[in-house]
Chain A
């Protein structure tokens, strides 16, 4: 429940008390709003008094009579504009000439209420203004979040793409200037590290490509019957060279039916990301166990590893874009921070859910549930 402050400026006492009475019990609710709005009404009998109340109380909505004893309604509007107050203004006027209407609109009035008005007319005007205020609030919030995501995106790109370039440049310069010796062998470590940084950058670029490919809707024409066992096997083959290097064994168990209606590309994204994570954040000699099981109309995937685990407070964040758990154990593991956010988006596209259970230094289980069709 949110309260909007309404100020009515009118020299007729009947209008002031009428507005208070009508709006005092009024509330606005719409299915698309996440809260109801009620109204708190204050009143002023002149423009001068009104201006003071605006400065003190900062109302959200102003109902303004144009014909006032001292300063006129349009003068009040001008003051509001000068001071850059953020108020939605409706003009109450019995003789709304075109001239007044134009001036008032130019100075920021958003609505006109004819005088005398019925309770219903007042309510529908207030309803309109409330809707506009609500939408404005939502838009502002979205803009801010948009900016924040854009900033994160740029800072990650900048950091994650420039850092390897800086590293490569540094090593090449050392080689060019023969800083570590005259023989190529003197630079074996430099070359190894350079190749590793290139690989890291390649992974980031692949994730970025996946990220831009995700659609807001499933591509219905690509939906087909696919066997997730095959998808899993494909992903295991892809990760195998890396798993051998890390000394991690990857096992697949298909308990029963593993067929789902889905876009194969989407399923690849889920398996590739979760399996490569399970290998990447594992320990030497560790295991990755993948199980596929169906119950009724649901398919349940489990990706269990014997790796470094995720602490309780890190769990909330791991599905966020560009989030990377940074600690002693992850410092030498490269990643874009996009993989899990991509997986979550895809799973949700299929009205499924993804959950994580983890014990630090023991292992992590990612569990995905999706309807079969």
Chain B
């Protein structure tokens, strides 16, 4: 399968970050679906199974991303999820998915800092899609 056979759902309430992420993903060759809020993302996944999802952590509430991870894994356990956020070091609220304990409550497959380069993001996606 090639990249254009995969559809990636991106949810982010920052219109610029959403625009840029979508732009980069499409440039890399993927199909995309966008959601500007947790509510919109929930509506989309209720009727559509993306091949991969990228969720912002803080949208309507501070844990929107966690909730979306939980919801999508319940509906489609096999869909890889990337949780992207700008907050971590500054708040002392850092988590990785390295330990089993963290994996058990953060239902994401990757946790990424916002601001990573487009090619890094693409590499992570290829790994998760086993491309």
Using a CB–CB cutoff of 8 Å, the interface residues on chain A facing chain B are: 151, 154-155, 157-159, 162-163, 165-167, 169-171, 173-174, 179-180, 193, 197, 326-328, 331-332
Contact = CB atoms under 8 A, between A and B. Distances in A.
B27 interface: yes
Contacts of A328: 37
Nearest to A328: B37
A174 B90 contact: no
Contacts of A193: 15-16, 19
B102 interface: no
A326 B59 contact: yes
A174 B24 CA distance: 9
B115 A169 contact: yes
Contacts, number: 68
B36 interface: yes
Interface in B11-55: 13-17, 19-20, 23, 27, 36-37
Given A166-B114, A167-B17, A179 B86 contact: no
A162 B114 contact: yes
B20 A170 contact: yes
Given A331-B36, A331-B37, A159 B16 contact: no
Given A155-B91, A158-B90, A331-B36, A170 B17 contact: yes
A179 B27 contact: yes
A332 B60 contact: no
17 contacts: A155-B90, A162-B90, A163-B14, A163-B86, A165-B115, A167-B14, A167-B17, A169-B115, A170-B20, A170-B115, A174-B20, A174-B23, A179-B27, A180-B23, A193-B19, A326-B59, A332-B15
Contacts of B36: 331
B93 interface: yes
A179 B93 CA distance: 34
A168 B20 CA distance: 10
B108 interface: no
Contacts of B58: 155, 159
B75 interface: no
Given A154-B91, A328-B37, A162 B20 contact: no
Interface residues of B, number: 26
A195 B118 CA distance: 22
B86 A162 contact: yes
A316 B13 CA distance: 24
Nearest to A162: B86
Contacts of B27: 179
A305 B89 CA distance: 40
Contacts of A179: 23, 27
A23 B118 CA distance: 71
A4 to B, nearest CB: 36
B62 interface: yes
Nearest to A153: B91
A151 B16 CA distance: 26
Contact of B16 (A157, A167, A326, A327): A167
Nearest to A165: B115
A18 B114 CA distance: 68
A163 B14 CA distance: 8
A170 B25 CA distance: 13
Nearest to A169: B115
B90 A157 contact: yes
B126 interface: no
A171 B87 contact: no
Contacts of A332: 15
A331 B61 CA distance: 13
Interface string B102-131: 000000000000110110000000000000
Contacts of A154: 90-92
A171 B90 contact: no
Contacts of B87: 155, 158-159, 162
A180 B16 CA distance: 15
Contacts of A169: 115
Nearest to B36: A331
Contacts of B13: 326, 331
Contacts of B20: 167, 170-171, 174
A160 B114 CA distance: 13
Nearest to B115: A166
| 9 cross-chain pairs, A with B, having the tightest CB-CB distances, nearest first | A167-B16, A158-B90, A170-B20, A162-B86, A158-B87, A166-B115, A154-B91, A155-B91, A326-B60
Q: Name which of A166, A169, A332 has the most chain B CB atoms within 10 A of its CB.
A: A166
A163 B15 CA distance: 10
Contacts of B92: 151, 154
